[in-house]
């Protein structure tokens, strides 16, 4: 079973999408395994469905949406700090992140 | 539904008089004419630049001869580079009345405003006699765009619009989706949906062009708010945006201002051709909305996760809100709450049907939220385009 605040969009995906906010330190059940979140996860954000190695593709909608910049643990927030585009770097108001090397 | 039958045979769902400034120097005068005319049916559009540009002329021609437009007052300063003679000729050729006011020859601000108010009043009166005739869903052209996307957009609002598109196309309507820069990463999947392999190749090339253009500019079509809403990369945003196109076959690739030649689903290539020249391909959502309207869109379906409030001149914009939290914050601006999908209160198909029903009602005259609130955002920038490739509009 899976916490109803997380959605699996495609069976090939290695991320879940958050459909209801979950706060840090809360323990949630993902496909039968319990994990404790270390940061707040807001609606629309992603967490890892399994351990993902550095350089591995992040799969969502059954398609690649970029690569892991570092090893990502099961249940960890997957975002700008640990993944990057394989096309064009993203940016925040302060700076660019995940420059394509 | 009933439509306004124009002399060129096209049918509109609104009956608008456009006041059009042809350079920023004429903007104030044109706006004063619109404000003092005090009618929802008198609207302002214009082009700010003084240098002539083929693209801006084509867009303006598309807007001034749009099926929702009954007549036009052009406001020129007098010395700008915009080809007002050509624009006026195109409008006349479409059978619509057009008046040109030249501020430098009309005695300045006050007299041009007064003269403009008179012209608008005459055109409004004439517009009353435009015949209302039966109009079928198959005669509608509907465009879609997303703005202020977040991690919910690709799960709720965008696939719901895709579902609505599939229904419209099943009834032989024409649908347009766009922004090749926001389809980076989806090019192969899209190509497989093209009705011919050659069209598929054109689609792949258009996305490669977009990728190059955005790379030169230094930024993808990805705003900080997208990241705050959970989107991490351009291709992730693309996969979500792509869902707006539904599952129908892609019948052609058009450029801004091109009118689709047949029914079905069309991709609009909005990224300029040639070497990057005038700056960002699309500075803001409104620029893309206007391009789809110039290609004949009667209504624009605008999906948003973070929450956009924009509307448009000429064609109503319907807001489909992807995120339930955003919907609660901005309910007065949102026409459809697709956030119900995120909360598990509705299916994508149910929301798609809701959008379809609203399209029918807005086409029949009901005002969308942004339309009712008076939103008429409008932007045209400089761009350059070459003609369409030989395989872009396959004959069925």
Render the burial of B10-42: b for 16+ CB within 10 Å, e for the rest. bbbbbbbbbbbbbbebbbebbbbbbeebeeebb
Whether the CB of B348 is below 8 Å from some CB of chain A: the reply is no
Size of interface A-B (CB pairs under 8 A): 110
Measured between CA atoms, how close is A64 to chain B, in angstroms?
8
Render the burial of B153-179: b for 16+ CB within 10 Å, e for the rest. bbbbbbbbbbbbbbbbbeeebbbbbbb
Task: Give the C-alpha separation, B363 to B323, whole Å.
Answer: 26
Which one, of B243, B244, B262, lies nearest residue B253 by Cα? B262
The verdict on a CB contact (< 8 Å) between A43 and B234 is: no
pLDDT at A86 over 80: yes
At B219 the pLDDT is 85
Measured between CA atoms, how close is A48 to chain B, in angstroms?
13
- For residue B29, how many C-alpha atoms fall within 13 Å in the half-sphere facing its CB? 29
Query: What is the distance, to the nearest Å, from the Cα of residue A42 to the centroid of all Cα atoms in its chain?
Result: 12
DSSP β-ladder status, B336-337 and B317-321: parallel
Residues of A in contact with B323 (CB under 8 A): 43-44
Whether the CB of B232 is below 8 Å from some CB of chain A: the reply is yes
Whether the CB of B257 is below 8 Å from some CB of chain A: the reply is no
- Tell me the C-alpha to C-alpha distance, in Å, between residue B164 and each of B122, B174, B348: 39, 12, 10
Structure tokens at B118: 């008179």
Average pLDDT, chain B: 96
Query: What is the distance, to the nearest Å, from the Cα of residue B139 to the centroid of all Cα atoms in its chain?
Result: 17
Whether the CB of B213 is below 8 Å from some CB of chain A: the reply is no
* ipTM of the complex, rounded to two decimals: 0.92
Residue of chain A whose Cα is closest to the Cα of B215? A88
Structure tokens at B296: 């004949």
Phi/psi at A54 (5° precision): -55, 135
Task: Give the C-alpha separation, B271 to B259, whole Å.
Answer: 17
Measured between CA atoms, how close is B310 to chain A, in angstroms?
22
At B27 the pLDDT is 98
At A101 the pLDDT is 45
Measured between CA atoms, how close is A99 to chain B, in angstroms?
10
Whether the CB of B343 is below 8 Å from some CB of chain A: the reply is yes
The verdict on a CB contact (< 8 Å) between B230 and A45 is: yes
The verdict on a CB contact (< 8 Å) between B323 and A44 is: yes
Task: Give the C-alpha separation, B176 to B156, whole Å.
Answer: 19
B97-129 per-position pLDDT tens digit:
999 999 999 999 999 999 999 999 999 999 999
Contacts 24+ apart (CB under 8 A), A69-76: A69/A98, A72/A48, A73/A48, A74/A30, A74/A33, A74/A35, A74/A48, A74/A49, A74/A50, A75/A28, A75/A30, A75/A35, A75/A36, A75/A37, A75/A47, A75/A48, A76/A38, A76/A47, A76/A48
At A1 the pLDDT is 67
Average pLDDT, chain A: 92
Whether the CB of B216 is below 8 Å from some CB of chain A: the reply is no
Angle, helices B348-363/B157-170, rounded to nearest 10 degrees: 60
Which one, of B317, B379, B305, B307, lies nearest residue B342 by Cα? B305
Residue ranges in chain B modelled with pLDDT below 70: none
Nearest beta carbon to residue A88 from set B215, B230, B342: B215
Cα radius of gyration rounded to whole Å, chain A: 13
Q: Which residues contact A95 (CB under 8 A, 6 or more apart)?
A: none
Nearest beta carbon to residue B224 from set A18, A46, A92: A92
Whether the CB of B220 is below 8 Å from some CB of chain A: the reply is yes
Whether the CB of B229 is below 8 Å from some CB of chain A: the reply is yes
Whether the CB of B180 is below 8 Å from some CB of chain A: the reply is no
Give the pLDDT band of residue A92 (cuts 50, 70, 90).
confident
Structure tokens at B1: 């539904």
For an interface test with B, which of A43, A52, A70 has the most B Cβ atoms less than 10 Å from its Cβ? A43
Whether the CB of B233 is below 8 Å from some CB of chain A: the reply is yes
Nearest beta carbon to residue A44 from set B189, B230, B234: B230
Measured between CA atoms, how close is B184 to chain A, in angstroms?
8
Residues of B in contact with A78 (CB under 8 A): 232
Residues forming beta bridges with residue B307, ordered by sequence position: none
Whether the CB of B264 is below 8 Å from some CB of chain A: the reply is no
At A3 the pLDDT is 86
Cα radius of gyration rounded to whole Å, chain B: 20
Q: Which residues contact B63 (CB under 8 A, 6 or more apart)?
A: B18, B20, B45, B69, B290, B293, B294, B313, B314
The verdict on a CB contact (< 8 Å) between B323 and A43 is: yes
Nearest beta carbon to residue B219 from set A61, A91, A98: A91
Render the burial of B232-256: b for 16+ CB within 10 Å, e for the rest. bbbbbbbbbbbbbbbebebbbbbbb
């Amino acid at each position: 079973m899976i916490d109803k605040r997380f959605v699996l969009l495609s069976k090939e995906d290695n991320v879940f999408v958050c459909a209801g906010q979950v706060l840090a330190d809360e323990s949630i059940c993902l496909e039968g395994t319990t994990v404790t979140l270390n940061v707040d996860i807001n609606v629309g954000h992603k967490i890892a469905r399994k351990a993902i190695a550095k350089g591995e593709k992040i799969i969502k909608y059954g398609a690649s949406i970029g690569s892991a910049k570092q090893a990502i643990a099961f249940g960890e927030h997957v975002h700008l700090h640990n993944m990057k585009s394989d096309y064009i770097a993203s940016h925040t108001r302060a700076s660019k992140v995940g420059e394509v090397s | 539904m009933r439509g306004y039958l124009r002399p060129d045979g096209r049918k509109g769902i609104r009956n608008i008089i456009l006041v059009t400034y042809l350079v920023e120097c004429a903007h104030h005068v044109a706006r004063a004419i619109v404000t003092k005319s005090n009618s929802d049916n008198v609207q302002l559009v214009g082009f700010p630049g003084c240098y002539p540009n083929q693209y801006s002329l084509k867009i303006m021609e598309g807007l001034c001869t749009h099926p929702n437009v009954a007549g036009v007052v052009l406001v020129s300063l007098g010395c700008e580079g915009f080809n007002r003679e050509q624009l006026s000729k195109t409008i006349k050729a479409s059978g619509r009345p057009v008046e040109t006011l030249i501020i430098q020859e009309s005695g300045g601000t006050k007299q041009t405003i007064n003269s403009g108010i008179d012209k608008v009043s005459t055109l409004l009166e004439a517009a009353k006699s435009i015949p209302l005739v039966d109009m079928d869903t198959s005669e509608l052209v509907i465009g879609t765009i997303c703005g202020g996307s977040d991690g919910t957009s690709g799960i709720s609002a965008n696939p719901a619009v895709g579902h609505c598109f599939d229904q419209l196309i099943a009834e032989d309507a024409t649908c347009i989706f766009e922004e090749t820069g926001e389809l980076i990463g989806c090019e192969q999947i899209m190509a497989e949906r093209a009705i011919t392999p050659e069209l598929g190749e054109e689609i792949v090339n258009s996305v490669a062009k977009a990728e190059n253009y955005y790379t030169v500019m230094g930024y993808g079509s990805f705003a900080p708010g997208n990241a705050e809403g959970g989107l991490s990369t351009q291709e992730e945003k693309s996969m979500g945006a792509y869902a707006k196109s539904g599952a129908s076959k892609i019948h052609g690739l058009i450029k801004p201002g091109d009118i689709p030649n047949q029914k079905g689903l069309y991709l609009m290539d909005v990224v300029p051709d040639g070497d990057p020249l005038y700056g960002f391909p699309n500075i803001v959502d409104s620029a893309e909305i206007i391009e789809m309207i110039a290609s004949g869109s009667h209504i624009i379906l605008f999906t948003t996760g973070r929450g956009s409030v924009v509307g448009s001149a000429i064609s109503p914009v319907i807001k489909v809100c992807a995120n339930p939290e955003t919907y609660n914050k901005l309910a007065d601006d949102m026409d459809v709450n697709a956030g119900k999908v995120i909360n598990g209160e509705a299916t994508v198909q149910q929301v798609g049907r809701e959008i379809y029903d609203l399209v029918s009602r807005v086409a029949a005259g009901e005002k969308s939220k942004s339309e009712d609130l008076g939103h008429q955002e409008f932007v045209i920038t400089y761009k350059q385009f070459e003609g369409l490739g030989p395989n872009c509009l396959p004959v069925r």
